[in-house]
Structure 1
């Protein structure tokens, strides 16, 4: 899994306009600041069984703020940091990268693309659908695919995963949605130029 995860990250990194990024100090500070902000969020883990810990993701905000490529790269940096700090194990790095970063962030950005393409472009659609509901769906997808992996790899049986991991999911949906929804609302109102996926002309002007 680490090979597949790293391959996707490298493809994303290869397609970034590094010259433009390196010449934009604000974008650099925003990118690394977002990566650092995820670290304490991911450190706040809770769980009964080893490997079945849960935490908030914040990946929807990152995807909407930085876009898919840079969002994927910076969230990978966040994962690397919490692994270095021993909050995650090195043997699980590949699984965490693919199932905990690449797939959820890609899914979240895909949901945004769907809302942008097929729904009415309005500020409230961006905040509540592309942000709030998108975040809830993203953490649900991450939890479900990780549960499936744990059963498939025979680390735990289905009943153990259901009782100690999946049962917590309903308690995570609203807080994750609220966390991302509030962050996106604040950013759109006060720092719209920080949001790579947001433009006033699309969502606000003449609405």
Structure 2
């Protein structure tokens, strides 16, 4: 397997991020907390199944829904990155993703969307008046759309820099599809979080009634 400089750099950078996260994660929670086990493995199973449904016109220019905004809100930043990494490893093992692209996919398809989602959540939590609609629309719908945009634009740049295809091929067959992907992604994440906080709020790590409902 031949790796380009960008692929090697991306892999090393991701491993550094993953090592940092692992050093600050209490893995005993996964071993001892049965409820968390069910939430963690249930969530990553849903993401894994979703990622199986994908389309591509050219080899490598693959599009699929992410659901990483929901994963972040349900599990929190560290566990979301760990869970999505497990999903990416599984997708790579079964041949859905190229092994040489693991570092790039991990950085642009895992860390970038999850990091952005959690940044938006933190900003809204600390800088904006908290209520249910702020949480649903600014923490779920909005990041859901933007994470798809960020991922697809970043991947478009990568494909072009690596010279995989001419820009007109990338733009027409991948970049322009961003508009078609972002709104369903926003709706999918927003509706998932809405249903969860209505019927199973205890499953959503970033949501608590005392912050968003009580006294509003």
> Counterpart of 1:35?
44
Report the Cα offset of residue 145 of structure 1.
0.8
Are 2:106 and 1:97 aligned? yes
TM-fit CA distance, 1:22: 2.3
The number of equivalent residue pairs is 207
Q: Could you say which residue in structure 1 is the equivalent of 2:132?
A: 123
Match of 1:172 in 2: 181
**Superposition deviation, residue 43 in structure 1:** 1.2
C-alpha displacement at 1:95, in angstroms? 1.0
User: Which has the larger displacement, 9-18 or 97-106?
Assistant: 9-18
Structure 2: 5+ residue stretches without partners: 1-9
Contact residue 141 and residue 189 of structure 2 kept, 8 A? yes
Q: 1:11 aligns with which of 20, 26, 44?
A: 20
**1:132 counterpart = 2:163:** no
The answer as to whether partners of 1:151 and 1:161 remain within 8 angstroms in 2 is: yes
Which position in structure 1 is the counterpart of 2:65? 56
The answer (yes or no) to whether the contact 1:66–1:195 under 8 Å persists in 2 is yes
Q: TM-score, normalised by structure 1?
A: 0.97
Contact 2:136 2:193 in 1 (8 A): yes
Shift of 1:21: 3.5
Post-superposition CA distance 1:90-129 (Å, at most 9, x none): 1111111111111111111111111112222001110111
Mapped partners of 1:26, 1:160: distance in 2: 47
Tell me, yes or no, if the aligned pair for 1:135 and 1:180 is still in contact at 8 Å: yes
Provide the aligned C-alpha RMSD in A.
1.0
5+ unaligned residues in a row in structure 1: which ranges?
none
Which of residues 183, 199, 205 is equivalent to 2:208? 199
The alpha carbon displacement at 1:18 in A equals 2.0
- Aligned residue in 1 for 2:165: 156
Distance, in Å, in 2 between the alignment partners of 1:9 and 1:28 is: 20
